[in-house]
Each structure stands twice: as structure tokens, then as C-alpha cells.
Amino acid sequence: MAGDDTPKAHRRFLSTERDHIVQVMEKLAHALPPDALGNPQDPLVVSVKGARCIGKSLIPCVFREALLGPAAQLEGRAEFDERWKGATKNGQPLEVGFVNLVWPFMDMSEGLQALYPKDQIRPSKQDVADAYLSQRVHGGITFMSHAEAAEKVKPGMVIEMLYESLPKHLPEEKRLSQKFFKAMCDNSLSPWLRIVKIEVSDPRLLQSETFMKTLSSLRAVYNSPPRENHPVAAVPAVRPRVWGK
């Protein structure tokens, strides 16, 4: 939905703990407008970006539990082409999906592979994305790992996690940059030190007063003690290197 000339909103924040990211993603999930989730032919597409094992899987996991609760049913192959079905609190059928376009096409579930073009020996990333999206029955949200690998996919939101060379990603505004840098130094040993960048271009989100207020309300730096005993269990497969070490 989003082209290069499409209006965009941007936000970035620095987190020092895993649960800071959980809290932010929960807020965004609960602020999604109904019209962004109601059309199975035009689901909200979110690109998640970041290095391997940085914790990208936490993002769709938090959204899924916020929208569907912990009892949603999985279809597909976990961590490759997931489709979770359930209903919102008011009973509206909803699907939350995740497809990892970084992985080779032959690693996907047999059900997805059966939908690849029959005349292609080696399906493209776009073929994989098209096959995945063709399975959708209800409205909802689809997360794609590095959606830009599929040239025709235009995500309505991009969420990127960064932990290497963090000083290169400091805000241009001097006082805010200093605040980021101080938090980095004070929390340099935290395994969850991240800069998270968010870009929004889906008109349904940009035109939602609730969503845009929520986006604007995100703090620049999260370094206070997070909530304890949060139930979301997704973790990166490998602990990333710590910035500054």
C-alpha cells in the first residue's frame, strides 16, 4: 500500500530490557483501528527487520497475544510460515500471520509449498509471499521478515531492531542523541539493548487518531525497571553480542 511518495510517520526508541519492547508492541497492537484488520483481501502488512537472532520474533508474538490471546491455533510451520486464527474480544474473526522470507522456499510448510507456481522450478520471494497471502480467510495482520525481499510487497508498517553500531543510529536532534547515548553507556551490558525504528505508511493507520496518538506517545528512551513476570515467551535463539563490548 505504501509507495515512495506515500506520507509516512516515523518513531524510534531505545530499549534496555526485553519487556520494554513488549510494552511498546502491546500498545501499538491495542491501538490498531478496526478498518485495518477487517479486510482479508487487504490485510495490514508489517515488515520486521533486523539481524539474525536479534529477537524479531518477539514482535509478531506480542501482537498475536494482544489481539488473539494465548489460545490461538497455529497453522503452517512455526517460525517459517505461521498462521494464527482466533477472534477479537468482540467476536470478530481474525488472523495474525508471520512468514520468514529470509529462509529458502523449500523450508516452508508442505501446505504453502503446494501453492507455489507450478511453472517455477525455483519460486521467487514474491512467489512465496503471494502463496502465503493467498491462504488468508479473515482480516488481520501479516508480519513478513524482510518484506522488501518480495519486490511487489508494500508493507504498511516497518519495525526494525538494531543492536550493532548503535551510535550510527542516534537521532539527529542533539539533546535527544545525548539522551540515547547516555542510556547506551549506562546499560551497555544489557543483552536487550536495542534501538527500534518504526515507520508507518498505511493510510488506515495514519488516519487513525488513536493509533497516531499512541505512536507519538512512545518514549524516546526506556530505561526504567520494566514490568515483572510478563507472559510473552518469545526469545532470540542466540544471545546477541552486547554493544560496546
How far is Cα 213 from Cα 100, in angstroms, rounded to an integer? 30
| Confidence bin at 72 (pLDDT 50/70/90) | confident
Q: What is the pLDDT of residues 219-229, one digit of tens each?
A: 988 877 655 54
The C-alpha cell at 16 is 534496555
Q: What is the pLDDT of residue 228?
A: 55
- The mean of the pLDDT values for the chain is 86
Q: What is the DSSP letter of 49?
A: E
Q: What is the DSSP string of 174-241?
A: HHHHHHHHHHHHHTTT-TT-EEEEEEE--HHHHT-HHHHHHHHH--SEE-S---SS-------SSPPP
| Confidence bin at 151 (pLDDT 50/70/90) | confident
Average pLDDT rounded to a whole number, residues 144-169: 89
Q: What is the pLDDT of residue 91?
A: 83
Does 194 have pLDDT greater than 60?
A: yes
Q: What is the pLDDT of residue 238?
A: 35
| Confidence bin at 131 (pLDDT 50/70/90) | very high
Q: Please answer whether residues 207 and 9 qualify as being in contact, where contact means their C-beta atoms are separated by less than 8 angstroms.
A: no
Q: Tell me the β-bridge partners of 199.
A: 10, 158
Q: Which of 33-42, 117-126, 192-201 has the lowest mean pLDDT?
A: 117-126
Q: What is the pLDDT of residues 83-128, one digit of tens each?
A: 999 988 778 899 999 999 888 888 899 999 999 998 878 889 999 9
Does 44 have pLDDT greater than 70?
A: yes
pTM, 2 dp? 0.86
Q: Please identify which residue in the block is written with the cell numbers 524479531.
A: 56
Contacts 24+ apart (CB under 8 A), 126-134: 126/150, 126/151, 126/152, 126/153, 128/99, 128/101, 129/99, 129/101, 129/153, 132/81, 132/97, 132/99, 133/43
Q: Was domain 9-222 assigned CATH 3.40.50.300? A: yes
Does 65 have pLDDT greater than 50?
A: yes
